[in-house]
Structure 1
Amino acid sequence: MITPWDGADFAGAKLAALVDGHILTYRRDNKPGIPWPGLIDLPGGGREGDESPAACVLRELHEEFGLHLREQRIWWARPFSAMDAPGRTGWFLAATITQAEIAAIRFGNEGHSPQLLGLDAFLTSSDAIAPLQQRLRLVLETPQNYAVP
């Protein structure tokens, strides 16, 4: 899927990387001054240059987890109000990953405790970032077989 991005400016993007009823997560650092310290987060981050939402989130996935995905693997994408940039837009995207890709993870230096969480565990966790939980619910309402293309 090519994201339905119209070229408009945006602050950043987050990715729901799904595999076998689980979602790829990590725990944010517990540092003063960062948004959502210590909470469970998803891959993603701020836009660099003139990146598209897909290019932004896939670059962040590589930086944070060492994974390379092609844009065609993204099957859901939608703009929302940015979570940490009032008045700006952020993107939420979904892609299916494989167990082999999970085994190849090389976690970067932001955050800690990368893990696969069951979808229900992520959606009900009081330690997860609430807007990401809400956005994942919308993704899961979309008919999809989660097959890797």
Structure 2
Amino acid sequence: MRDEPFGGAKLALLTGRGLVSILRDDVPRIAWPGHWDFAGGAREGRESPSACVLRETREELGLELDPGRLIWRRTYLNSNGRPVWFFVARIGAAEIARIRFGDEGQGWAVMPVADYLAHPKGIGQIKERLADYLAVQPGA
């Protein structure tokens, strides 16, 4: 999997009935400015999809997660037809208390899953990918 090309990875961090979301910077040079996103980003070097998303989570939220915490994963094609990965992990209150926000974005929040899915500033394809997970994990 390490040598297969992919553009990047995102991680839905679920906690109870909520999830951790990051408010993107509101600058025109980035995709989805001022929208609520999940931890993740572009691949660096030849890292694997899980290494990519765990590094981005560490950089953006200060959380060190073991790869075994990734409970669901699926590839999708982005708007350029390039594969991207979507992961899901569960975290608890103690880990939320340890979040140390990085230098990308305006802030972070834990919001109810339903609120994210209905939020006008939620990113469409991220909502769809989260909904895919919820469809196969009833009650998640």
- Same-fold call, TM > 0.5? yes
Q: Structure 2: any 5+ residue segments left out of the alignment?
A: none
Provide the TM-score with structure 1 as the length reference.
Answer: 0.89
CA distance in 2, matches of 1:63, 1:7: 23
The answer to whether the aligner puts 1:104 opposite 2:98 as a matched pair is: yes
Counterpart of 2:70 in structure 1: which amino acid? I
SS in 1 for 2:10: strand
Runs of 4+ deviating beyond 6 Å: none
Counterpart of 1:93 in structure 2: which amino acid? F
How much has 1:113 moved relative to structure 2?
2.0
What's the Cα RMSD here?
Answer: 1.5
SS in 2 for 1:137: helix
Match of 1:35 among 16, 31, 36: 31
Superposition pairs for residues 22-61 of structure 1, below 5 Å?
Answer: 22-61=18-57
How much has 1:142 moved relative to structure 2?
2.0
Counterpart of 2:5 in structure 1: which amino acid? D
Match of 1:78 among 70, 74, 88: 74
Equivalent residue number for residue 62 of structure 2? 66
Q: Are the aligned partners of 1:12 and 1:82 in contact in 2 as well (CA < 8 Å)? A: no
Q: Are the aligned partners of 2:11 and 2:38 in contact in 1 as well (CA < 8 Å)? A: yes
Counterpart of 1:98 in structure 2: which amino acid? G
Identity of aligned residues (%): 41
Match of 2:107 among 91, 113, 116: 113
CA distance in 2, matches of 1:108, 1:144: 32
Change (3 A) 1:120 1:144: closer
Match of 1:13 among 9, 14, 22: 9
Count of matched residue pairs: 140
Q: Are the aligned partners of 1:92 and 1:135 in contact in 2 as well (CA < 8 Å)? A: yes
The answer to whether the aligner puts 1:143 opposite 2:137 as a matched pair is: yes
The answer to whether the aligner puts 1:89 opposite 2:83 as a matched pair is: yes
Q: Structure 1: any 5+ residue segments left out of the alignment?
A: none
CA distance in 2, matches of 1:125, 1:20: 19
Provide the TM-score with structure 2 as the length reference.
Answer: 0.95
CA distance in 1, matches of 2:3, 2:13: 24
SS in 2 for 1:49: coil
